[in-house]
Structure 1
Amino acid sequence: MLNNRLVLILVTAMAPAVWGSTYLVTTEFLPPDRPLLAAAIRSLPPGLLLILITRQLPKGIWWWRALALGALNIGIFLALLFVAAYRLPGGVAATVMAIQPLIVAGLSTALLGERLTVRTAIAGIAGVVGVSLLVLRSNAHLDVIGVVAAVAGAVTMASGVVLSKRWTSPVPVLAMTGWQLTAGGLLLLPVTFLVEGAPPANLTITNLAAYAYLAIPGAAIAYALWFRGIRALSATSVTFLSLLSPVVATTLGWLVLGQSLSPLQGLGALIVLASMVVVQLRRAPAAKPAEGPQLSPARR
């Protein structure tokens, strides 16, 4: 049982690990100043592809539930994320978004009946501290709209995680993933055209390959693993794994882009990883008290 749970945790963690590469792919291989286009391509095409593969559409109440979950987990969240990313330094945005596990823990207590433990609260605070050490710079400035967008994005994604756990879909994970990606993409599409206009006509092979990476491994596969984890694990356990994204992003910046990595950042990474591990550890069940003195068979 322990091995099965460990495998499930590691597989689920692959999703935020892949998402941690988004910053590198976006800045190095995509057209500049087109964040909403990247978000729309990352959601709508893979969502439609999964619907074609699974050949399942929502029924009854799941039409509006799929729309609500798609808006929270994909459409609204990605829009707020890009607003925060454009108006705040990356370190500030990542630090603010790191409050998401604490929000999920609180919502899970209210909506799912999960118990908020001191260990979870301390791990959540440690996660925020670790991310701030990892990515926050001393010259970072605050923008009110950016901070509000980051907080709203954390609340939105946290709500999506908890509702995904509360509303267990009767269909396979791939079908549910397709519904949410499609719903989120349909919400993003008109906003993308309104804000950024039509897609550029001079896309290169590199641009197209980067969009394909964001759409298939970065969305179709990663979100399927993420939603599978939400079904099988507690919402709190899953959301702490999202702290892996800034760790991967910083590591890739160091390995691929030659960015410096200070000892303080290394300490932040260790704190983040420790907070993730602590939350995944389950307390062993208490031994049942003996019902009374046990007699040997000869004296029964």
Structure 2
Amino acid sequence: MRWVALTAVAPVAWGANYYVTHEFLPPDSPFYGAALRALPAGLVLLGLCRQRPRGAWWWRSAVLGLLNVSVFFVLVYAASQLLPTSIASTVMAVSPLAMMLIAWTLVAERPGIAHLAGAAIGLGGVCLTLLTGTAGVSMPGVLASVAAMLVSSFGHILTKRWNAGTDVLASTAWQLTAGGLFLLLVAAAVEGPPPSLSTSALLAFGYVTLVATALAFAAWFIGLRYLPAGTVGLVGLLNPVTGVLLGTAVAGEVLTVQQLCGLALVLAGVVLGQPTRAGRRGGSRTPLQPAPDKSAAREFSTRNPL
């Protein structure tokens, strides 16, 4: 359960990130916004681990950085600006089911019955929360959020497959740095000079960079190392719960009875998918930790930063 608690840091931080982005960051600079989120976080983690990629991890860092950072951050930034905090974060709750199906294909991790049931219950909660009949929901924003969910689900499972035998903090730093550098080049080409930032925007970027990116991604990828993808995906349902509650408490968004029922279902899905003492649920026989990749182990130090 300590790995579950550590993993939960990520979705809670991401749920709050929607509000911070929506309220304080410049709405017309998605590429610079994503670059200023990713690159400083990657450099901070790189300074902590002091390891550089070797061998296959040069191209792996580029691929994962593109999926988990470049494309994902731009889509999340756009969704955060186009949608209310509660709606933007709730769409991401479909990710547990996507992660389970992708993990079944890429890492042969068969989802257990409890995981599937938790995902179905959580998805029902998403539908109750989204289908409120509220006017003004931006379809481009919903599409951006759905695309972000699919891209990140694939990238996170690919990270789980490749991370065996590597330092989690180092691989996270490489992804964020590679993705941030790519975003910076695209931002300079597409958006021109960087936007001027107010004091509140600088403070917001401090939270987005250090908490919602550096800390959150390290916690998330450590969870993927030690827990089944189904469990990690269901813990991710705390993302919409945080977003909805924060949007209601701080941003003044109205929380209906239907949305409260949806949140209750989402929380029930999270609880249902947690690992038992034996580490197995629903008949899944997949071990919690993947077997180390011997070739990767020869290339990297296996020191655990925690």
TM range (shorter): 0.7 to 0.9
Query: Per-residue deviation at 1:24?
Result: 1.8
2:302 alignment counterpart? none
2:287 alignment counterpart? none
Task: Select which of 273, 276, 279 maps to 2:267.
Answer: 273
Query: For 1:140 and 1:72, how far apart are their aligned partners in 2?
Result: 32
1:204 alignment counterpart? 198
Query: Per-residue deviation at 1:8?
Result: 1.3
Query: Per-residue deviation at 1:170?
Result: 3.6
2:120 alignment counterpart? 125
- Residue deviations 1:140-166 (CA, integer Å, cap 9, x gap): 578775555444322211111111111
Query: Per-residue deviation at 1:13?
Result: 0.4
Bigger CA radius of gyration: 1
In structure 2, the CA distance between the partners of 1:151 and 1:213, relative to structure 1 (3 Å rule), is: closer
Calculate the TM-score normalised by the size of structure 2: 0.82
Is contact 1:37–1:199 with CA below 8 Å preserved after alignment? yes
Query: For 1:229 and 1:134, how far apart are their aligned partners in 2?
Result: 27
Query: For 1:80 and 1:261, how far apart are their aligned partners in 2?
Result: 25
- Residue deviations 1:12-42 (CA, integer Å, cap 9, x gap): 1011101111122123222332333221111
Query: For 1:243 and 1:140, how far apart are their aligned partners in 2?
Result: 24
2:226 maps to 1:232: yes
SS in 1 for 2:276: coil
Query: For 1:15 and 1:234, how far apart are their aligned partners in 2?
Result: 16
2:31 maps to 1:36: yes
1:25 alignment counterpart? 20
In structure 2, the CA distance between the partners of 1:10 and 1:135, relative to structure 1 (3 Å rule), is: farther
Query: Per-residue deviation at 1:139?
Result: 3.5
- Let me know the Cα RMSD of the aligned residues: 2.5
Q: Which runs of 5+ in 1 are unaligned?
A: 1-5, 287-300
Query: Per-residue deviation at 1:106?
Result: 0.9
Query: For 1:29 and 1:82, how far apart are their aligned partners in 2?
Result: 12
Is contact 2:86–2:245 with CA below 8 Å preserved after alignment? no
In structure 2, the CA distance between the partners of 1:257 and 1:154, relative to structure 1 (3 Å rule), is: closer
Q: Which runs of 5+ in 2 are unaligned?
A: 282-306
Q: Percent of aligned pairs with the same residue?
A: 43
SS in 2 for 1:163: helix
2:247 maps to 1:248: no
In structure 2, the CA distance between the partners of 1:141 and 1:206, relative to structure 1 (3 Å rule), is: closer
SS in 2 for 1:59: coil
Query: For 1:103 and 1:272, how far apart are their aligned partners in 2?
Result: 16
| Residues matched between the structures, number | 280
